[in-house]
Structure 1
Amino acid sequence: MANPSASDDYFRFFGLNQQFNIDLPALEQAYLAIQKEVHPDRHARGSDTEQRLAMQMATLANTALQTLKSPIQRGLYICQLHGVDAKLETNTAMPTAFLMRQMDWRESLDEQAENLPALDALMTEVEESRQETLAEIAQAIDGAKNYARAAELLRGLLFIDKFAVELDDTIAALI
């Protein structure tokens, strides 16, 4: 059965290196291997303890997969493993340039709400910003091991992703 002692580190649980840029197919493969091993149906004839452990491991595998698949959750998790709390609920301070860009995007969305080509161009800009931020997060975590900087960038990525959803919804309403 999967190693319960590795449950304190999702990367170790899946046999992956602890880094922001991960091999998603390898993650998926490790998940499927563990789920095959611990699936509760495989342990239906086992003791109560075996059944309970199988259920706990299957639940852990699901939670770990969802955490590591999401770039934001993965980054926050790595920061947490290194003692850095992003304080998402209380720390909303962002650099002025970032806030100005957010305000520009919001104005563009409001002013161009009926202009599909302009909204598509804005979506391209937002996606480029998202990719740049992901690259900066990878550098902060995998390169510089600067988890405080990574947490700041992750807070920004949350703003970018939230705006992208609003923008996508606006575009979808026009189509």
Structure 2
Amino acid sequence: MKLDDDDFALMGLPRQFALERAELDRRWRELQTQVHPDRFAAEGAAAQRLAMQWAVRVNEAYARLKTPLSRAAYLCELRGAPINAERNTAMPPAFLMQQMTWREALDDARTQAAVESLDADVTRAEAELLRQAGQCLDVDGDAEAASGHVRSLMFIARFRADVARRIDALDP
């Protein structure tokens, strides 16, 4: 294990989108047990600092891999297709139309039921985009196509935060 290993190598997992969350959690706990700074208390400040670096690195890898969206984005980057969401905003026209429809529906929603129905539609679209990103990454080997799905998923994540705020605003 090296500090500059990619997250998958660090965690001892295959470099793929489909991961067993239980296995990721198990590997994280195992690694944290090995590198926790308290284990190095008797070895002095330098050993504790190094252990702290390891603990931080393991936590960063775990955080990136446990979330499907960040895992997909990371895989795209590892495979030479970085997301570059700030500079690359290209999306399929159908998804752009879907965004507009969702925004209008959220603006028009006046009841909790209407917002929750919209949220259910968005959740279904999110699940399908995650499935497509996984297909591109694990089966097709097409990181470029996966990066497009990831950009769409990033929009959905932001939009779902707007939906949650609307739900909170409608709560009595």
TM-score under structure 2 length normalisation: 0.95
Post-superposition offset of 1:118: 1.4
Match of 1:133 among 122, 129, 134: 129
Provide the C-alpha distance between the structure 2 equivalents of 1:35 and 1:12, rounded to a whole number of angstroms.
15
**What is aligned with 2:148?**
152
Within-5 A mapping of 1:11-90: 11-90=8-87
What's the secondary structure of 2:141's corresponding residue?
A: coil
Residues 1:8 and 2:5 are matched in the alignment? yes
**What is aligned with 2:160?**
164
Count, aligned residues: 171
Compute the RMSD of aligned alpha carbons. Answer: 1.2
What's the secondary structure of 1:4's corresponding residue?
A: coil
> CA offsets, 1:128-157, max 9 Å, x none?
000000000000001101000111100000
Q: Which runs of 5+ in 1 are unaligned?
A: none
Provide the C-alpha distance between the structure 1 equivalents of 2:38 and 2:48, rounded to a whole number of angstroms.
9
Post-superposition offset of 1:47: 4.0
Residues 1:143 and 2:139 are matched in the alignment? yes
What's the secondary structure of 1:92's corresponding residue?
A: coil
**What is aligned with 1:104?**
101
> CA offsets, 1:99-149, max 9 Å, x none?
00000000011111x222211111110000000000000000011010001
Q: Which runs of 5+ in 2 are unaligned?
A: none
What's the secondary structure of 2:43's corresponding residue?
A: coil
Provide the C-alpha distance between the structure 2 equivalents of 1:122 and 1:174, rounded to a whole number of angstroms.
14
TM-score under structure 1 length normalisation: 0.93
What's the secondary structure of 1:44's corresponding residue?
A: helix
